[in-house]
Amino acid sequence: MFTIDLTGRRALVAGVADDGGYGFAIAKALVECGATVVVGTWPPALNIFNNLLERGKMDTSRRLSDGAMMEFERIYPLDAAFDTMADVPDDIRTNKRYANAGDFTIGGLAERLVSDFGARPLDIVIHSLANGPEVKNALLATSRSGYLTAVGVSAYSMVSFVQRFGPLLRPHASFLSLTYMASERVIPGYGGGMSSAKAALESDTRVLAYEAGRAFGARVNCISAGPLASRAASAIGIIEKMVAYASANSPLTEPLNPAEVGAAAAFLSSRHASGITGSVVYVDKGYHSMGMATQIG
């Protein structure tokens, strides 16, 4: 039987703060396939996430197909806006939401992983995070600071991931990030430089695939997922409209299930996808293939 077996492999899934997003769905799919998973969570959301876990608020969504409960091997604080603590401004260092987080930078996470698990602790790295502080602004109304933050957190962080986690990889490892159709088509209302960030992420996927392949023997791919009305996506302000529109105008009209993105991620992270790198894989019910809407509005 053709199965995805990730037994003995460890994945880092960055960008998990609840059970409603693609990051959680990917983590669950990897665990279903036998992997162990550590997660990186934005420090201001870390206490809430831990409390939800401890109080059993996510027990239903954590239930695996065999009846067992999904467990995270570690939960680390991670703010992907910063590569090292030297980059962190004083107002963040002294912010009470970052209290007791330790080194929450990308470089700090790399050091923690080595300290906890040894010199080469990773097989799979999932980049499932983004931030556009001015995402509700039209591009023409976006400030330079808002634009650069969107690109820095949502795209450059993937470059930093490969720089810092690449040396920690075991053989046959892979990186995977998440993008969206706004990288190549106009999505009115998805602003603040986020469309530019997603376009950069896709371009970097190709370059990083070459560079990481030669440097670390690792693959680098990207999933272009359909819109999902997650808690994080609510910041866009029109996410319900985006989901409804995509459903009405896709070849397959049922709403995209996060588990479908999780399944694709598990495949791309497995040895079955050993020949796939530098690719953007659409998991969007075929919406990307449409050239004309079937329903307007």
Rounded Cα gap, residues 270 and 37, in angstroms = 14
Q: What angle do CA 251, 244, 65 make, to 5 degrees?
A: 75
Active site residue: 22, 147, 190, 287, which one?
A: 190
Rounded Cα gap, residues 196 and 8, in angstroms = 37
22 is catalytic: no
Strand partners, 126: 13, 176
* H or E stretch covering 44: helix 43-54
What SS3 class is residue 19?
Answer: coil
147 is catalytic: no
Q: Backbone phi, then psi, for 226, in 5-degree steps?
A: -70, 165
Percent helix, strand and coil across the chain, each rounded to 5?
45, 15, 40
Distances (CA, A) of 12 to 106, 168, 246: 12, 11, 30
Query: Taking the mean position of all CA atoms in its chain, how far away is CA 107?
Result: 18
Rounded Cα gap, residues 76 and 108, in angstroms = 10
Q: Please say whether the beta carbons of 10 and 38 come within 8 A.
A: yes
Rounded Cα gap, residues 108 and 77, in angstroms = 9
Which of these, 49, 108, 53, lies nearest to 79 by C-alpha position?
A: 108
CB atoms within 10 A of CB 25: 26
In the block, which residue shows the tokens 């962080």? 157
Residues recognised as catalytic: 180, 190
